Structure 1
Amino acid sequence: MAFQYVPKDTYLDKMNPLVKLAYVGTALIFALLIDEITDLSIVFLWILVGAAWWMAGRVELRSLGFLLSLMKWMVLFLMIVQGLTYRLGDQTVILQLFDYPVPGTGTNYGQLTIGGVMFGFLVSTRIIAVVTVLPIFTMTTSMSRLNAALAKIRVPQKMIFMLVTAMRFVPLVQESWQAIIDAQKIRAFDIEKANFYQKLRRAYVPIVTPLLLLMFRKAMDLEVAINARAFGAKKERTYIEDIGFKGVDYAGFAAVFLIFFGMLYLLFYQSEPIALFMYQWILVGWNAFVYVIQLLQIDVLLQTFNSFLLDIPYLGIYFGFFDQNLLLGYGGVFGLVILLFVIYKLAGR
């Protein structure tokens, strides 16, 4: 699971938890400083560095399935919502999903704009920049070591308890969720076979209700347990492990701050050249993709979608990747998405 410690013999597991906590803190600061579309190239570099940390900690991708699925829908949701509501930047209309004009302003909140979609993507990448760091901390750090490390630097015991309890409850909720789903499957109720509308209307009720009741019961059991152990007593606590700083910890701190300040330098002084370099390689891949589409003569189908179904004129392919028409206009892109979805469904059968 994405937020549960998995014991392994790696340098990250042996490292002081405060080093990994510092990495999470720098990720939060870095995400707050991202405010331009050209900064996306630096965010991708940050994510690549995070992937290197993943490999160092042997974090398994399959254990992050729930998190990746959640992020997928989050990105889609933010791009649609911001595309409809954000009214700065490029106001070129991609699609008009519905008609909701604001009187006296000339704004129509039913129109999906390029500036809004790109801003939604920017917000998503800021969240992803932090989320990619969290498994490095949670999946390579035992709660007992984290507790001892925070106590070592005189963090109040109640604050430590709140943090550790919250981190332990996340995998507990995931386990309980899956257990309830399995129990409902035995009773011939399979949520995976329900469509999106059915899930929203009635499928989640038999799962969310027992989950909430179970969490309330766990919280009450926890309250009884900590009171029985005299939680909050003034006497200083002792710990099995003595968490100190070793050579690997100092090296870890050096790596964290070197990465952080290096990324800040690129963000403030080199974001546009790096963005241009990545843009050129993306453009090469895009042109190759366009060539394959034209070679297979799929462009005729896309042009039909563009001109007749969505009534957006076809102007041809321009050199720029973010040209207003992309491949054959946004209607063509919409048609291509539908085509790929149909192929995916047919292949699944």
Structure 2
Amino acid sequence: MTAIDPTAHLSDEQIEQLGRELDALRDEVVSSRGERDAAYIRKVISVQRKLELGSRGVLLFSLFPPAWLIGTAGLSVAKILENMEIGHNILHGQWDWMRDPKIHSTTWEWDHVSPAAQWKHSHNELHHTYTNVIGKDNDLGYGIMRVDEDQKWYPFHLGQPLWNFINACFFEYGIAAYDLELGKNLHKRRRNNPEFRARAREVGKKIRKQVLKDYVIHPLLSGPSFLTTLAATFTANLVRNLWSHSVIMCGHFPEGVQTFERRSIVGETRGQWYLRQMLGSANISGSKALHIMTGNLSHQIEHHLFPDLPSNRYGEIAPKVRELFDRYGLEYVTGSMPKQVFSAWRKVFRLSLPNKADRTRTRTPRRAEERVAA
């Protein structure tokens, strides 16, 4: 957030015109989806499965250090691909238009301890609806961090760099806890709620399935290499967690990304919703390989504008989206991954401390009708 409203120069009509232009861009992509896109996701799935199978095969010989390194590296990449470019995007419904029952948001279950159905609710329905709205979008701070100067500071926040690091290491479990709204539901009256207990059982079932697969079955299949395969799997999960956490941090935490108050979305129009997605997201610049490994969430701005478009199209439309930013006088927040990771972590450390008396107080960008009323 900045001390100056970055939308102050836009009128109501300009904001709605921006929305109409973005709608037209979306319609253009939807009308051109076809075999090229279907071939892309099928190829990624095929590569990922072959890489995982090959890596697990190499780990049969993981008593030998070179085999351990190669197998662990391959398994790490395979798990990242499955979570980011495949699972995340399929569960967004990006490929539902193919009508392939094997690659569909209603049937896909991913390599993650959070059940797909619960993740779709907390992520697709809540996070993407209330992007960066404090008190509504718990993705913003995972429910454990102070993310804006206007939030009241408590001594507990001094530990948020540590909480964030622990969350990064065990990110899939943090997401599962977030999907359950565990902090809120641990209250005695809430944890006895039948709906919560049913969802908790589903999470427990999924965790047991993942632990059995990763830490019992596959290591046992390695025979004498049981312990080294166990270590390799743990390392691959750790790498996957740290990577996915970093990608998410880069998309919503760097300096220049805006947060919003609850009152700012009352009566929000389509154009204003688009504007919030533009201001509440940040991109990562880099190679094609980096884009694929991030699930194309390196194009976080484009993803938040159009969460159900095929991920391979985000890079194609990014120049058109950036042109709209320039034309409407808005900042397109982007940078290399090291830059964005550093910026996000610096913000985590900065906001773990109380505001300095001379620090400029920031405010949420107001909607156009609020500016007119003022």
Same fold (TM over 0.5): no
After TM superposition, the score normalised by the length of structure 2 is 0.20
After TM superposition, the score normalised by the length of structure 1 is 0.21
Q: Which has the higher contact order (CA 8 A, sep 6+)?
A: 2
Compare CA radii of gyration and give the structure with the larger one.
1
